[in-house]
Structure 1
């Protein structure tokens, strides 16, 4: 028997390699678990601190959250930071669906408007320690379901039906 592969066998092997690489690329687009924990705790602290310490702490907590977000964004843009965050690859912008981008922008604007109106028309929480309860729910959701939520958002963001993987949607190594 010859050592040469038949064209159908070679094509099947190439397809298996492509699928394996797609799975690796999709797995690399999920952050490490510690990132969800840090941001979940930060959100809880931001929401709960005024209930326990007073309103004077809001500016300090907001500044800390802004610095944490800035450090996160800088880390995403560097190879070592991306590796530390558990993201060794980057998504190509042309692989993200324009429809998803428009919908995401609309959702962000809607959330910002709702939050603005809620702070204007609801001067006090409906019950004591409202911020603590809301912070605990949001923080726990992010900690417990952050990776699943990120996986779902990634599958919606990529072009196509979401069933065929990333279709080359990532650059290789940073």
Structure 2
């Protein structure tokens, strides 16, 4: 027979397991590389298509990008879809800092309002192929820096340093 494990050693092992699971949960919140490439190309296509094919394609391209975003949102809600996107676990809402959530919501709202107001005062064409240039810059930024930006936002969103209690960050697979 084996000797019983002393309680302090068992507790230390349990804490190490919890920290390992927390690290796995944080690591699983990063998208697969191909997701950033697809959305970067979609942004480029949406902004560049009117420059090459005229304003008539604007609604069709917007509809296609909207369908892509809806498919992405649906895939995140299913276990297989989330695994395909590279996100097999979900972070608990209680682990997300309320200050970060409030700040990010207000920032998104401000950007959307600036976009709507700015669209009223901007001329139709700043210079030839302005949409193509903007699409290339935004798409390339998402493709090249998307994962590091997401990693930075995830670290800002998490509460504390991961050592504040027994609850895990991730809860199961979807």
* Shared fold per TM-score greater than 0.5: yes
Rounded to whole Å, the distance in 1 between the matches of 2:102 and 2:65 is: 26
2:155 maps to 1:155: yes
Task: Output the aligned Cα RMSD.
Answer: 1.9
Question: Retained in 2: the 8 A contact 1:88–1:173?
Answer: yes
Deviations 1:30-86 (A, max 9, x none): 111111110000001001111111111110011001100110111011111111111
Number of residue pairs matched by the alignment? 171
> Which sits farther off after the overlay, 105-114 or 117-126?
117-126
How far has the Cα of 1:4 moved from its partner?
Answer: 4.0
How far has the Cα of 1:132 moved from its partner?
Answer: 0.9
> Which sits farther off after the overlay, 151-160 or 63-72?
151-160
Question: What is aligned with 2:162?
Answer: 164
What is the TM-score when the length of structure 1 is the normalising length? Answer: 0.89
| Structure 1 spans left out of the alignment, 5+ residues | none
What is the TM-score when the length of structure 2 is the normalising length? Answer: 0.89
2:126 maps to 1:126: yes
> Which sits farther off after the overlay, 135-144 or 96-105?
96-105
Rounded to whole Å, the distance in 1 between the matches of 2:13 and 2:168 is: 18
Higher strand share: 2
